[in-house]
């Protein structure tokens, strides 16, 4: 199944478990030493089932290298798609009404600070001021800056305001929450790991090409080169 890439016989989950529990070089050395010594003695104790199983696994041509490549190939697309979905969500949120609303906040802030050369010509603002918009009141105390920005947006930007087809101009709160949890450091970390594993995969695949018998090269070689 490993040599023929047949997941119907040994599924990927089982393959992962086999790979994680394979005999390490020092363990395999002891098993092979015992096995060799047993053949030379008449009443020697045979290997227990776990050790026998590990020994037989090691007889599969380039088991470790093959399985690493198979497992990495199986998760690569899913990992890339997961990162892409998050980034596309983030991009979508940046492109919808958020920019217009934040633009209005900046414009009104600059207008209100118009007499101040430094504060009245700001290129941006800290997001921590957003909760304070409701606390800035008009001179007669009848409305807040927040309500004024909302009404201005509805009058000047939302063509469907008051109609049945009118939609909420800001993103879905759940999407906003998901985006707020994203960290570019995490994306970079995940991509660095994938890049590293991809290089290891190339190295391991090259070992299989070099060390395998001709009869054990396919379909592994074609599958990996295509990947």
pLDDT digits (tens, 9 = 90+) for 166-219: 877 777 889 989 998 999 999 999 999 999 999 999 999 999 999 999 999 999
Q: Which two tokens stand for residue 32?
A: 């092979």
Confidence label for 21 from pLDDT (cuts 50, 70 and 90): confident
Q: Which two tokens stand for residue 136?
A: 């800035």
Do 217 and 182 share a domain, yes or no?
yes
Q: Which two tokens stand for residue 48?
A: 């227990």
Single residue among 147, 170, 193 that ends a domain in this structure: 170
Distances (CA, A) of 41 to 27, 44, 51, 54, 56: 21, 5, 19, 22, 21
Going by C-alpha positions, the residue among 136, 143, 141 that lies closest to residue 113 is: 136
Do 103 and 144 share a domain, yes or no?
yes
Angle at 199 between CA 197 and CA 202, to 5 degrees: 110
CA distance 56 to 35: 12
Going by C-alpha positions, the residue among 61, 14, 84, 68 that lies closest to residue 198 is: 68
Do 105 and 155 share a domain, yes or no?
yes
Is-contact 130 105, C-beta < 8 A? yes
Q: Note the pLDDT of residue 97.
A: 65
Looking at residues 12-39, what average pLDDT do you find? 87
Mean pLDDT taken over the chain: 89
Do 83 and 180 share a domain, yes or no?
yes
Do 199 and 87 share a domain, yes or no?
yes
Do 181 and 216 share a domain, yes or no?
yes
Do 179 and 89 share a domain, yes or no?
yes
Q: Which two tokens stand for residue 1?
A: 């199944």
Do 163 and 102 share a domain, yes or no?
yes
Single residue among 129, 148, 170 that ends a domain in this structure: 170
CA distance 12 to 17: 9
- Coil/strand/helix, residue 37: helix
pLDDT, one tens digit per residue, over 130-154 is 999 999 999 899 999 999 998 998 8
Domain count, the chain: 3
- Coil/strand/helix, residue 24: coil
Q: Note the pLDDT of residue 154.
A: 86
Do 137 and 90 share a domain, yes or no?
no
Q: How many CB atoms lie within 10 A of CB 169?
A: 17
Is-contact 169 97, C-beta < 8 A? yes
Q: Note the pLDDT of residue 118.
A: 67
Q: Note the pLDDT of residue 3.
A: 92
139: preceding bond cis by omega (within 30 degrees): no
Single residue among 170, 193, 211 that ends a domain in this structure: 170
Q: Note the pLDDT of residue 86.
A: 93
Do 161 and 182 share a domain, yes or no?
no
Check pLDDT > 90 for residue 44: no
Check pLDDT > 70 for residue 19: yes
Work out the percent of the chain whose per-residue pLDDT is above 90: 51
Do 177 and 166 share a domain, yes or no?
no
Q: Note the pLDDT of residue 190.
A: 94
Measure the CA dihedral 124/141/152/150, to 10°: 80
Do 86 and 198 share a domain, yes or no?
yes
Helix ranges (DSSP H) in 113-219: 145-156, 173-180, 184-211
Q: Which residue has the higher pLDDT, 33 or 82?
A: 82
- Coil/strand/helix, residue 144: strand
Q: Which two tokens stand for residue 125?
A: 């603002």
Domain containing 221 equals 66-95+172-226
């Amino acid at each position: 199944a490993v040599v023929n890439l047949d997941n119907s016989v040994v599924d990927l989950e089982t393959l992962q478990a086999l790979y994680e529990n394979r005999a390490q070089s020092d363990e395999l050395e002891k098993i092979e030493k015992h096995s060799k010594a047993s053949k030379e003695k008449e009443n020697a104790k045979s290997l227990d089932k776990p050790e026998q199983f590990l020994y037989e696994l090691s007889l599969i041509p380039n088991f470790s290298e093959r399985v690493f490549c198979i497992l990495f190939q199986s998760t690569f697309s899913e990992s890339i798609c997961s990162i892409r979905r998050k980034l596309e969500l983030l991009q979508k949120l940046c492109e919808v009404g958020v920019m217009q609303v934040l633009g209005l906040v900046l414009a009104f802030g600059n207008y209100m600070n118009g007499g101040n050369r430094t504060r009245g010509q700001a290129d941006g603002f800290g997001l921590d001021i957003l909760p304070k918009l409701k606390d800035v009141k008009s001179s007669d105390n009848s409305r807040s800056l927040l309500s004024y920005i909302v009404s201005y947006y509805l009058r000047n930007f939302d063509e469907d305001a008051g109609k049945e087809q009118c939609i909420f101009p800001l993103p879905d709160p759940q999407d906003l929450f998901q985006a707020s949890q994203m960290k570019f450091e995490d994306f970079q970390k995940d991509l660095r790991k994938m890049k590293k594993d991809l290089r290891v995969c190339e190295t391991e695949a090259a070992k299989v090409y070099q060390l395998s018998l001709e009869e054990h090269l396919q379909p592994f070689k074609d599958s990996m080169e295509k990947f």
